[in-house]
Structures are given as C-alpha cells and as structure tokens.
Structure 1
Amino acid sequence: MSIKKSKYLLLSVILILSLKAIQETLNFIFGWQNWLYIFDVLFIISIFTVIFVLFKYVYSYSEELSDTESFLQIILENMKAGVVVTDSEGNIMFVNDLFANQWRINNFKYPISLKTWASNYELFHIDGTFMQCHETPLAQVLAGKEVANIEYLAKDKDSSPAYLLANGRPLIDKTGKVTGAVMVVNDITDRKQAELTIKHMAYHDSLTGLPNRDLFNKNLVQKINLANHNNQECFVMSLDLDGFKMVNDTLGHKMGDYLLKQAANRLSSCVRLGDKDMVARQGGDEFIIFLNEAKLKDTETVAKTILKTINYPFILGGKEIVITTSIGISRFPQDGINAETLKKNADTAMYRSKEIGKNNYCFFQTELDDINKNRLEMASSLRKAVGNEELYLVYQPKINLSLNRIVGVEALLRWNSPDFGMVSPAVFIPLAEETGIIVEIGEWVLSTAIKQNKKWQDKGFSPISISVNLSARQFLQTDLVQKVEIILQESELHPSHLILELTETMAMNNLEHSIEKLEQFKSLGIGLSLDDFGTGFSSLSYLKKFPINELKIDQSFIRDMIIDSQDASIVKAIISIAKSLNLTVVAEGVETEKHVNFLHQQQCDQAQGYYFSKPVPSSEIENILKESVTNEKKTV
C-alpha cells in the first residue's frame, strides 16, 4: 500500500473519532440537542468516506497483486528451466510450462499427486545405476536438504533418455517444519551428448570406431587387476595385416581405409564383446585384442578363427584382395604381470610368427625376448650397412642347356656385418623389407649390378644378361621405372642386358598396376622374369596378361623331381606352359647331372644351381666367362 493511500485512511478514521468526541462533549456541557442531528449527519458522511477509501485501497491492492503475479508468471514461463513447487508429500502445487512439458503433465489439474507425475519416468544416476526413491533430488529436498547441480538420467519407454540437472530448496515454516519444495530442473541432454561424443572421440579410433590405444590400456590395467584378484588367466593378442602396405600404396588410401574398417569388423566378430573381450586399433594396420577369463585352448581357437576370417577375400573397388595376418600372444601371469610387459611380449611373439611364414600365430616364449632384442640391434646395423660398405654382391651363372654356356648371371645380395658376421639373406632381407630399408638397399643393388655388367662388357667379354630381384616395396615405388632408366643411362648398359625379377605374389597383388609398370619396363627394352613360379597364385589366365620374357621354376620342384613323380609332372607342365607362351624357362636349384639331363630332355632353356656354380664374386665370373668361350661342355 502506498504512503498516500495510508494517509487518506488514517485521516478518515481520525475525523470519525473527532466528530464523535465533539458531539459527546457539547451534549454534556451545554446540553445542545440540536447539535446532535448535525453531528449524526456528519458522522454518517464520515463512515461512507471511510468505506470509500477502504474500497479504493482494496481494489488498488488487488490490482498490484495481479500485476505482480502476472510479472512473476512471465518470468517463470520464459525461464529456460523447469520450475516446480510441491507440498511436503511431493504433490505438485505449481509448475511452469517447461516442467509440465518435460514430465508430460500439461493437462493435469493442481494439486498433481507425486505418484501421477513421477510414474512417467525411471531415474538413473549419471553412471547408469538405478536411482532409488530416497536418492532422487526431490526426496532429498523434502528431507530438508538443499541440492545443487545434481545430474541424473530420466528414461521412459516412449522417448530418448533425458539428462537433467536439478537444484532445489525446501520450504520451511516458522516452526522449522518442511512444508514443500521448490525445484529448478534443466534439460542438459544436448550438453551431455556433446560431452559423450567428445569422450568417445578421445577414446575411440575415428576410422574403425574401435577403442583406441588409450582406452585399451586403461581397460587392460583394470582387467589385469581383476584377473589377479580372482586368480584367473587372460591373454593379449598383437596382430597386423600382412601385405596391407602394398594394398594401401597400390589401390590408394581410400581403399586402404575401407580394408581396415572391414578388418576391424571381422576381428570384432571373432571375440566376445562387452565386459569380456576387447578389440582395439593401435594405429596403421596394427590391432590388439584382450581375452578376459580365457583358457589356453579357447585362445588358440580364437587365433585360428581370426586367421581364417582375415584370409577370406576382401572386395575392394570390385576386386578380390587376399591378405593374411600374423598374431603374437602373451599370457597373464606367465608372460607378464603388468600391461606394458604383456603388450611388449605379444609384439615379440607377433614378429616371430612373421618370421616363420606369416598367416600364423605364435605364443610368447622367454627366448623370443632375446631374439627380438637381437632383431632391433640388427635392424640398426643394417641401416648403416650400405654407407659402411658391408653389403656386397655375388653372382650365380645362368647356363643355356642347349649351348652349354653362360648366358647370364643373377645378382645376389650378401651382408658381412662386423657385429653379426655373415648374415643369411633369409634373415636380413625380410628385416629390411619390414623396416623399409630395402628401398635404399634395392637401389644400391640395381646400380651396382648394372655397372658391373657394363664393366665385363668393357673388358671384352661377350654381352650377357644380369638378373636383379625387385623387392615388394621397390615395385610399389611410383618412380621405379625412371630410376632404373637413369641408372642404365649413367652406366651406358643396353636395357636388353638387364632382367628384372619379381615374384608371382608381387605381380598379382594389384594386377592393373603391375601390368602397367611391366609394360613401361618392356617399352625400354628391359627383360622381365617371373620368379618362383608355382609357389604363388599360378593363374594361367593372369600369366598370359603379363608382358614377361622369362619364367623361373622354383627350386622346391627341381630338388626332388627325379624321385617324386608329382614334382616331375609339375616341372613338365611349367615348361610346357612357358613354351606355349613363348617364354624362356629357367630352372633354379639344379644340383645334379640327373637334374640337367631331365631338364634338357624336357627342352628347358636355362638352368642355374650348384651343379654349375655357387654364387661367386665378380672376379670369378670373369674366369667362367673366359672358360665359356672355349668350353661348351660343362661350365666350371
């Protein structure tokens, strides 16, 4: 009530009381009866005046209350939060529209019972555990507590879960009794979903959707601790995709990414997901798997299933691509009692599985740790080998069986390491491939072999061909043809005196890419040889598409062809195929005179092996070349 209105009311009351007092006084002193009439009239007028003032005050106050209520209603309805006022039993006495929409009570009349409005949803803690009745924010406020920034999850069967943020205070009367609650509830679903998305991105691989290294490590530590507490075994598998780099480099990163996603799906299908096992992507084509509460036999079954599943052809760009995987397995607690040791030992076992032929699995053994350390040291030494002149070439003659004379040599790489002594090519060449050093080494081999052949010609020897093996990584180089052409130009060796050898697997991995590159070599006049024929795809439909000049029979068929009829049949068939395609056929691994006679009878063109000569230095090749001029019987 305003001060001005209060003054009017006070003056009216004073006037009434004053008139009544004057009337009584005059009547007592003078006995003036006539004045009574006058004062009665004035008294009645005063009463009406007071009534008028009171009515005007009440009306004005009602307007003020109405304006205040409207003002508060506008504020509540425009708040970006739900507001609810309840009594001491949780029955709703007032809500704004936002809260009514949140809890689907728009058409209910006040008071709304707690059972009616709360039954629409089930409430959960933010970690997903069910929220008991006494744990709800409202229950805590009605118990006399203030709540601040409590996050929880509301779910019903008809809509998506809602993340809510609650703040509330109890309503308390003068006696200290809780008479109700005021709650403010914000819908934070968008914010929480954004947070969950960011969290998922932080702990999952963006390409495959698998857990990443960080999440795997976090869970691995927890699972190891649990396994240790429960006295259980668990296993860690480390694996990568054999041949992935070749696919990625030849078909492009888009196809490589697609292959990784498909491989991730296949790996996930091989294990028990959820709380049991986990598949994660380490990076590149490397994956890691944790098998919880597993037995040795179960782990072997999973490993075999993975090998079979990954080996099934992938369809990339309408083409069938076949890859394999190599798996290393470590076991808790036998191979390590912490995450880092188990992962390291699984990696060591994986490298061992590659060494024994890939497309395989291998359990960690203590000796492998020493082998792995040795490999690391060897890889470090191999990187320095070219600069330190530790690598050298030897040459094995190729003999024309009809003329019984040398017509070419194959350049073979050797490594005499000051740290490891003479290292077998079967050991250091796969290591060079794996580490990528093979590209630098391969260029050195090409250059050295080509220049050596030119030196022999410059010394007056009859021109012969020199064969150089290309590695898988070399063959993938986009500028390989240009590099070979430059070396030939610098050495001034005619391209027809160079033969490049590649394996079936290399050629078949990306047929179109291989044919295109082989055509470029052929256009330069360089000879092309398909090595180890019979051990890879051996597809006749593809073989006729390759612009090759020469087919080499793998020594595994030559070795026992005299005593093994199947090997003999295979050798005959390969020679026949080569002849039908007008290809020169070369037999590798010829060691006996019987081998020579059999091959000669089958009209095999050339042969190489210890029967003629082991791989020898360039100086000894000169002696063989000299003898070849005068001796057409047996060279060496």
Structure 2
Amino acid sequence: MTIKTDRHRPEDPRAFEEMLLRSEAKFSTLFNASPLGMTVVDAETGRFLNVNKAVLNATGYTEDEFLSFSYWDITPEKYRDQELQQLIDLKEKGRFSPNRKEYICKDGSLFPISISGVALVDTDGKEIVLGLIEDISERLAHEKELERLALYDTLTNLPNRRLITERIGQAIAKSQRDRSIFAIFVLDLDNFKPVNDNLGHYGGDELLKETALRIKSLLRRGTDSVSRHGGDEFLLLLTDIKTQDEARRIAKSICKALAKPFQIEDEVVTVSASIGIAVYPDHGTDQITLFRNADKALSRVKEEHGNGCKVFGSYY
C-alpha cells in the first residue's frame, strides 16, 4: 500500500513512479518492523486491509484471519458509541485522538489498547484509516496496583480507612432512600501489645492477617465490609440489618470466633476482641457521629476488661 501525495511530484512519470516505489518500501518496512501495533482499515467498509506483526502477536490471529474482520468484529459491544465518535472525528478532523478500548483476541481474552487514527488516501484513491495501537496491559496493571495501594491495607489486603469511608457514605445514601438501617463496628484486639512483643514483629503481623481472615469469613458476601484502620483496630460495616439486637448478635459471634486459638508459626496464641457498635440512624446520621459513638461504646467495653461488645447507649 502506498500513501498518495502530490508534494514534490517529479514531472517525469517514471521518476514519480520510482518515488512512489521507494515510499512504499519505506512505509512497508516501518509498518512491519514497528513495535507499535499498526492497522490499515477501509474507511468505507471498516474492513482491515493490512495489519502488522505486533498486532497479530498480541491477538493470536493469523494475518488471513485478521484481514477477514472489520473493526466491529473484534471490538466489544460496549465500545460501540466510542467507535461511532471516532468515525465522526475522522470525518470532521481527519483524525481521532488516542483512546482506550479492547480487541477480542483469538482465545476470547481481551487485549487492552490505546488507539489513535488518521484518515489518508492511497494511490488508488481509496479512503483509508491508519491506526496506531499501543499495548497498555502493563500500564493498566500499574494503575490497578496504585489503586490497590490507595484503597487497601498492604498488610491484610483489607479495605483501608479511605475505602470504608466511601462505602459508609454509600450506605448512608442508600438508607436515606429506602429507610433501611446499618451498623458500624469498631473492633480492637485486647492486650495486643504484649502479644505482639512476645511474637515479634513478623508474628504480630501474621496474627493481624489471620484475624482479618477470620473476621472476613464471618461476614455476608456482597453486603458487609471490614477494614483495617491501623494497628490492631478494625472497622466493620454491616448493611441491611433489621435491628440493634441483630447487630449485637453478629458482634458476639465475631468475639467468640476471635477468642479461639490462633496458630502462629510454632505458637498457639489466644486473644480476645472488644467491639463498639453504632447503628444508623439511631446513633447518628453522619459518619463522624457514628464513628464517635461506636468508639464510645468500645471504650465502655474496654473499661469492663474487654472480650465483649456493646451497642452505643445501651449501657446507660
């Protein structure tokens, strides 16, 4: 394929033909050797006219297979509006800026790419689109890891304070809509410091990870959340509960589960937990008030030597 151009066109037809051949050879070499994915598409039909090895290697298709497709065939339906906007940009601007999408690979997996395109005309007068395709798999993995680090505790892999705060905000909005209630638990391990000192730094970390797993195993999937707030403190969000008594029963079951011995390397470790409970909207209609009242309930449990739970206000 040769890109049509009238710039610096020699008057001698043979010289012009030689120039086109040289241009075609240069383009073909660049096209095939480029580490950047490149495609040529018929602007009218959307069918692929050419594809380089970078795209074939990433998607798993043979050249013949790929050239039997149009760009609609290997693009998931969710990108349909985006594809239509690209066509509008090509018509109005002669190009479209880089945007993210995916190609459907031969094995059914999705290949994440950033694609840009420019409208051209070949030597036969056919309108074509040259697509430039960048593999963004590593970039997305890096972004995902950064997001995980921003939202999850690195030790326990539980949501951190920021993420649980977002979820509590969502729970408040939902409860305001449907008049449901939810509870937050502030959970603290009793006498963790001497246990941590005895186990050492590594053993203490292992105990926290095992504690997180044990708490998580007791929660309802899809409705409840547990986060680590730092140290040996955890925050739990239980949505769609019916009564304060239900919240108290769940808290008691968690305390009972955490009182069972942990096997940390060669040592059997026994701990207990204290839980303070606040229920929306009875004990607050905003996060700050709910946190404060759950923490007050936790303090009352601690004053009574821990290993138990209390709902805010139930001890007055």
1:141 corresponds to which residue?
86
Between the aligned partners of 1:109 and 1:248, the Cα distance in structure 2 is: 61
Quote the offset at 1:218 in angstroms: 2.0
Secondary structure of 1:329's counterpart equals: strand
Q: Does 1:164 align with 2:151?
A: no
1:283 is displaced (CA, Å) by: 0.6
Which whole-Å CA distance do the structure 1 matches of 2:66 and 2:166 have between them?
Answer: 51
- Shift in Å, 1:168: 2.3
Q: Is 1:83–2:38 an aligned residue pair?
A: yes
| 1:248 partnered with 2:196 | yes
Calculate the aligned-residue CA RMSD, in Å: 2.9
The residue correspondences of 1:160-239 to structure 2 (distance < 5 A) are 161-170=110-119, 179-239=127-187
> 1:158-557 maps to which residues of 2 (within 5 A)?
158=107, 161-170=110-119, 179-274=127-222, 276-296=223-243, 297-365=245-313
- Counterpart CA distance in 2 for 1:92 and 1:159 is 19
Query: Residue 292 of structure 1 aligns to a residue in which SS?
Result: strand
29, 54, 78: which one pairs with 1:74? 29
Unaligned runs of 5+ in 2: 1-5
* 2:62 partner amino acid: N
Q: One-letter code of the match for 1:331?
A: V
- Which amino acid in the other structure matches residue 56 of structure 2? A
Secondary structure in 2 matching 1:365: coil
Give the direction of change, closer, same or farther, for the CA distance of 1:157–1:202 in structure 2 (3 Å limit).
Answer: farther
Deviation at 1:257, TM superposition (A): 0.5
Which residue is equivalent to 2:57? 101
Q: Give the 3-state SS of the residue equivalent to 2:38 in structure 1.
A: strand
Match in the other structure for 2:3: none
Report if the CA contact (8 A) 1:212-1:280 is conserved.
yes
What amino acid does structure 2 have at the position aligned with 1:150?
A: N
Specify whether residues 221 and 106 from structure 1 end up closer, same or farther in structure 2 by C-alpha distance, changes over 3 A only.
Answer: same
Output one character per residue of 1:436-489: Cα deviation in whole Å (capped at 9) or x when no partner.
xxxxxxxxxxxxxxxxxxxxxxxxxxxxxxxxxxxxxxxxxxxxxxxxxxxxxx
Q: Deviations over 1:16-73 (max 9, x none)?
A: xxxxxxxxxxxxxxxxxxxxxxxxxxxxxxxxxxxxxxxxx63x54443222111012
Give the letter aligned to residue 113 of structure 1: F
Residues 55-109 of structure 1: CA distance to partner in whole angstroms, max 9, x if unpaired? xx63x54443222111012222343422222221211112222223334343317
d(CA) in 2 for partners of 1:191, 1:353: 47
CA gap of 1:356–1:142, structure 2 versus 1, over 3 A, is same
- How far apart are residue 158 of structure 1 and its match? 3.8
Q: Which amino acid aligns with 2:211?
A: A
- 2: CA distance, partners of 1:165 / 1:182: 14
Residue 306 (structure 1) shift: 0.8
Please say if residues 153 and 164 of structure 1, whose CA atoms lie closer than 8 Å, have aligned partners that are also in contact.
yes
Report the Cα distance in structure 2 between the residues aligned to 1:308 and 1:109, rounded to whole angstroms: 61
C-alpha separation in 1, matches of 2:65 and 2:239: 55
Structure 2 CA distance for aligned equivalents of residues 166 and 248 of structure 1: 52
CA distance in 1, matches of 2:202, 2:188: 19
SS in 2 for 1:236: strand
Matches within 5 A, 1:16-165: 58=14, 61-87=16-42, 88-108=44-64, 112-114=68-70, 119=73, 123=76, 131-132=78-79, 134-137=80-83, 139-143=84-88, 144=91, 146-154=95-103, 158=107, 161-165=110-114
- Alignment partners' CA distance in 1, 2:133 and 2:270: 57
Rounded to whole Å, the distance in 2 between the matches of 1:255 and 1:81 is 48
Give the drift of 1:222. Answer: 2.1
One-letter code aligned to 1:166: I
Aligned residues of 1:242 and 1:358 also touching (Cα < 8 A) = yes
Q: Is the 8 A contact 1:141 1:181 kept in 2?
A: no
| Secondary structure of 1:328's aligned partner | strand
AA matched with 1:75: L
Checking the alignment, whether the CA contact within 8 Å between 2:59 and 2:111 is kept in structure 1 is no
Tell me how far apart the structure 2 counterparts of residues 153 and 68 of structure 1 sit (CA, whole Å).
31
Deviation string 1:377-398 (CA, Å, 9 cap, x unpaired) is: xxxxxxxxxxxxxxxxxxxxxx
**Alignment correspondent of 1:416:** none
Deviation at 1:267, TM superposition (A): 0.7
Separation (CA, whole Å) in 1 of partners of 2:29 and 2:258: 65
Preserved CA contact (<8 Å) 1:142 1:181 = no
Q: Could you report, residue by residue, the CA deviation over 1:323-352 in whole angstroms, capped at 9, with x for unpaired residues? A: 110111101111111111111111111111
User: Whole-Å Cα distance in 1 between the matches of residues 111 and 256 of structure 2?
Assistant: 44
Deviations along 1:245-304, whole A, 9 cap, x unmatched? 111112211111000000000111111233x22110001000000011222244233212
Native 8 Å contact 2:276 2:294 kept in 1: yes
Per the alignment, do residues 206 and 77 of structure 1 end up closer, same or farther by CA in structure 2, a change over 3 Å counting?
Answer: same
> Normalising by the residue count of structure 1, what TM-score does the alignment of the two structures yield?
0.44
For the pair shown, the structure with the greater C-alpha radius of gyration is 1
More helix by share: 1
The 3-state SS of whatever aligns with 2:188 is: strand
Taking the aligned partners of 1:156 and 1:223, their CA distance within structure 2 comes to: 39
SS in 1 for 2:34: coil
CA distance in 1, matches of 2:65, 2:224: 53
**CA offsets per residue over residues 146-186 of structure 1, 9 Å max, x none?**
4322123456694764321121244589xxxx944332221
> Distance between the aligned counterparts of 2:237 and 2:106, measured in 1?
35
Residues in 1 aligned to 2:109 and 2:66: alpha-carbon distance in whole angstroms = 28
Q: Is the 8 A contact 1:237 1:329 kept in 2?
A: yes
What's the CA shift for 1:320? 1.4
- Give the direction of change, closer, same or farther, for the CA distance of 1:244–1:159 in structure 2 (3 Å limit): farther
CA distance in 2 between partners of 1:217 and 1:298 (Å): 23
